Amino acid sequence: MPLKITLAALLAMACSQAQQPTEAELNKVAAAMDAALGVHAGAVIADIGTGLAVQHPVRIAGKVAPTGKVVCVEITQAAVSRINTQAEAQHVPNLQAVLGREDDPGLAAGAFDAILISNTYHEFTHPPAMLKHLCDALKPDGRLVIVENYAPARRKDSREEQAKRHDMTPELLEPELSAAGFVVKERVESILTDPAGRVRYLVRAERTN
C-alpha cells in the first residue's frame, strides 16, 4: 500500500486520451478533492496510502494550518520514514506519517474530520476491516473521500481482475461502503481521463450514525 462554483462544475473536465493532464487540469482536480474533503483551517485529515507522492497531503496541510493537521498512513516503516523526512525537508510541521496495518490504519476513534483514499482503495486486502476502522476514526459528521480509476471497456470485470489493473469501478466500491456503515453522498465521474482511457472518479461518503 503503502472533496461551490459547484463541485460538479469543478469536475466538469476530461483530458484527451492522447496526452498527459495539464497543470491547470491537475489543479482543478486538487481543488475538487479539497472541496469534497471539506478542507478548512483547523481540520484534522488522514491520507491513507500516501505512497511516493506527498503533494496532496502537503497541500492540505498548508490549508488546515496552523491548528489543523494531516496524518498519512502507510504499512511499511520505510514509507513512513520517507514521508516524515519529506515533510521535515519541506518545513510542514503539521504533517506526520504513522505506521498502520493492512487491516487497521491505527487511527484514533472519532478524531478526524475527513479521510482521503486516493488511488489506493483497490490495494486493500481487508476492505471490510479497514472501512470499519475508518468509519470509527471519523467524527460523526466526518467525510470519507475515495478517488479511483476504471477502464470503461472492462467495467464488468471481476473485482480481482480490476484490482490487478489497479482499477475499481464505483459499482464495486459503493456497495462495500454501504456494507461498512457509510452512505454515499456524491459520485462524480470523469474527473480526468488518462492516456490509456481510464476514467478517474470521486466518491464522497459519510457515516450513517
Dihedral class, residue 49 (left if φ above 0, else alpha if ψ from -120 to 50, else beta): left
Longest alpha-carbon distance in the chain: 45
Q: What single-letter DSSP state applies at residue 140?
A: E
Task: Count other Cβ atoms within 10 Å, centred on residue 5.
Answer: 10
Whole-number Cα distances in Å, 172 to 70, 145, 146: 28, 15, 13
Alpha-carbon distance of 125 to 1, in angstroms, equals 9
Taking only the tens of pLDDT, the chain with its 209 residues reads: 443 444 444 444 433 333 566 777 778 778 889 999 999 999 999 999 999 889 899 999 999 999 999 999 999 999 999 999 999 999 999 999 999 999 999 999 999 999 999 999 999 999 999 999 999 999 999 999 999 999 998 999 999 999 999 999 999 999 999 999 999 999 987 667 776 778 889 999 999 87
| pLDDT attached to residue 193 | 75
| pLDDT attached to residue 32 | 82
Residue at 145: amino acid letter: V
Looking at CATH, the fold of the domain delimited by 7-207 is given as Rossmann fold (3.40.50)
- Residue spans of the domains in the chain: they are 7-207
